[in-house]
Structure 1
């Protein structure tokens, strides 16, 4: 995924069927799948993979899954996804152990959540860390000094200025559900 992000640092975050159809027509090579159920995720991933996309599934948002390692195993065995996203260290760690790409999502809402990030990364050992909201370049700059894991800025990345600011602050990529951002 690292090579894909070097050439195109915009990740399409897809949250509904309309977004799925739009991303299939886009040049975005990496997709974060943010919706579905245990019944629909296999076909959603299949559609994206057939469209040549690298797909990571947000296991926290799949209806019918719970925060146990078996959920990651299900994604690996039943969907063919390339990896997972989760805000739970145990899920990210399980993904790494099962050979999937792993993105650990962090919602930074205060200094406590910021200072807890390092402990969580030590447990999960992710391939990437996604920081939400992604429109906070100052915090991205601080994190680049504190952690060695590549950072994806996600959430509330609304326009070119947000993309440029996040990348300029040191983010490896940005993730957005805003279709206009996908074509930048």
Structure 2
């Protein structure tokens, strides 16, 4: 499933942190799920459940137990687990993911102007399919700066508690919003 298909269906992406929230994410109108927990033992079953529900699944590589940040770990996931893509904060893992033919979401933190400048350089060097920027409550100029170096989707995540938070991030320039609050996963977005 392409990013265009994911975002046309619903711009709110469930970010699943707790096992008990997976069923709600599977029932949501979202086309994709960001999986922010798990282990090598549970991951194949969860990815299979997501695919059976017609969802693309993006695994946050850095948060999965039993993986190291090397090429072999990424290739193992690509060959034997089969997520649609990886989320990572590490540029090396992002490059390995791209090399393995997976969609790649580079997660960056825009905590101050220094962190943003570094993140812009990493995005430019890495060339991910999408960028997830945290926190979501950023001014529009931050999204404009990101847009100068990245043409793909910009996902806003982190500190999204209410529908107003999500709508503000979209209005500021985010293409989509990832949220761990299940109450937001089916919200109407016009």
TM-score range, shorter chain: over 0.9
Q: TM-score, normalised by structure 1?
A: 0.94
Deviations 1:45-89 (A, max 9, x none): 111111111000000000011111112111111211100000001
Measure, in 2, the Cα distance between the counterparts of 1:3 and 1:77.
24
Of residues 31, 41, 44, the one that matches 1:42 is 44
2:173 corresponds to which residue? 170
1:112 to 111, 114, 117: 114
Q: Residues 124-156 of structure 1, C-alpha deviation per residue, up to 9 Å, x if partnerless?
A: 210000001112133224433454342100111
- Alignment correspondent of 1:157: 160
Distance change in 2, residues 1:170/1:49 (3 Å): same
Give ranges in structure 1 of 5+ residues lacking alignment: none
Q: Deviating runs (4+, > 2 A) in structure 1?
A: 137-150
Further displaced range: 140-149 or 118-127: 140-149
- 1:171 positional shift: 0.9
- Among 48, 63, 66, the alignment partner of 2:65 is 63
Aligned pair count? 184
2:22 and 2:39 map into 1 onto residues whose CA distance is 15
Aligned mates of 2:10, 2:26 — CA distance in 1: 16
RMSD between superposed Cα atoms in Å:
1.4
- Counterpart contact for 1:140–1:166, Cα < 8 Å: no
* Paired residues for 1:1-184 under 5 Å: 1-138=3-140, 139-184=142-187
Residue 180 of structure 1 aligns to a residue whose secondary structure is helix
Partner SS for 2:66: coil
